[in-house]
Structure 1
């Protein structure tokens, strides 16, 4: 029911995803009068789905605390997340209210052991392919240990999504020199250098222009700067598209040039299409939750389902848990403290 268009986008998007992944089975949650007539138009999807009628839907502008109180047990969003706890779903994909989705996910699924705060990881198109950037809005002002946690989770996601054995990772900073930046970022860099992780190749500090270059597989930052970077990149992509559209229609010669170079422009449009990289992954939870952009179309929502499919197929949750376990086991001070606590 979420997003700007609700089931008008979600159901056709699910149908597109099913064409690409015939082994998917869907559990759909929503208002019956809006969903069932639309679902009837997609017989193949209907045959591979179970529809669950919900009493209410969470509004896009609803406060997370209000959504949590009002929607508990009754809202389509809550019921979809609860399906993971019940063993009825492996992943939740929603285009709904981001704050409500995060609040309900944390409440229902709980945080993984050893993780203090969740992160939203975005897939970012680069000159070399794609990178992962996190956090892009869940945790504002993360401290050094939380940035370290984000690094572990981002590295695990890169292995699940890109299928690389040891992804490269950088900390977003105002410069590459070790003396620059906020104290929590410099401290996180020290933690990463000293951790000696075999699951991550720590590159060091990276700057804003390194994101688009694809300098590293994973870029780690806190949610405030990450969200600004994401929105700035999306706005810049739209700005460039408008510039090109205006330039190509300005004169007859420009129009002829566009026709001659149409193949190249089509490839550029494909590369800059935000729908192709739609789907933010909520990391740190005892379950996989994917947040689709609220304004996307069916193709974009299908891309978000694709991300969820890949995360489950490649064992994202197990990879994160394994990396966390190995990291905490390698810290003798933690083990000693735990032993003393057990004795007491």
Structure 2
């Protein structure tokens, strides 16, 4: 995920939602007093699409659109690694991080959840791998002309590790035993979804679908009483196809895969997902994993952690923790799909 400045949102009447990974797939006939409206715009180097169930009140819709922009700008200003003036960048730029650095409540919440998911996944999810993300050319720095050497990887690996970050809640603050470069791109997008959802709740919107770059959170139901239906993409490099359709009521879903953000060098494909243990892009046969959770921040981080772990390890952990997860695995014959018992109740197609 990249972070960039926002441009104005637009409000339209939604007849059906957009792309495969985020769309409410079923067209519905709506009761006259309520319709599904879409608020959309660019954010974080991708885009957001928000469906709200409301009556035709243009003033209220414009107020919501403006509020959404302010919420996302605040997240961007706290967690962007692309902005030198962001709260996170200011911490990353400190040569001495051993003293407590005051941080906002929202940055504290994200870092706290990041540490919890890091511990749960045995370090497969690790926000301190930012230097390695940059080294492989997936951060704000230019893409390298050559593949990083083992010596470069070893040097950066030795300096990373989520256990180096220490947090305190009152007042919110962070420090590091040794200087760290923190990259929240695998969790901040989900947090942005949650932040927008909380804003809509505060404005009395009872039914909505919030999507940023494929990460989704829904609440309530559509005007005809049906639940929101979402598609999980087939993990193919060209085009878009549906692999599975799920229905959510008041949950979030996030997907992590190796098929969208990558580059090729000397005949090899390099995924943007970095394994914190090796310092290299993942190479296993897990093509995509989708996770359902109450909040999108948790779903986002878990999906990334599971993607790093690979199918066997991630599936065992998800089953043990009763986490709804759906795995798409590449084989010589094509794709195999697997789901945890907790995921099965959400599948409708």
Fold-level similarity (TM above 0.5): no
Task: Determine which structure has greater relative contact order: mean sequence separation of CA pairs < 8 Å that are 6+ residues apart, divided by chain length.
Answer: 1
TM-score under structure 1 normalisation? Answer: 0.24
More helix by share: 1
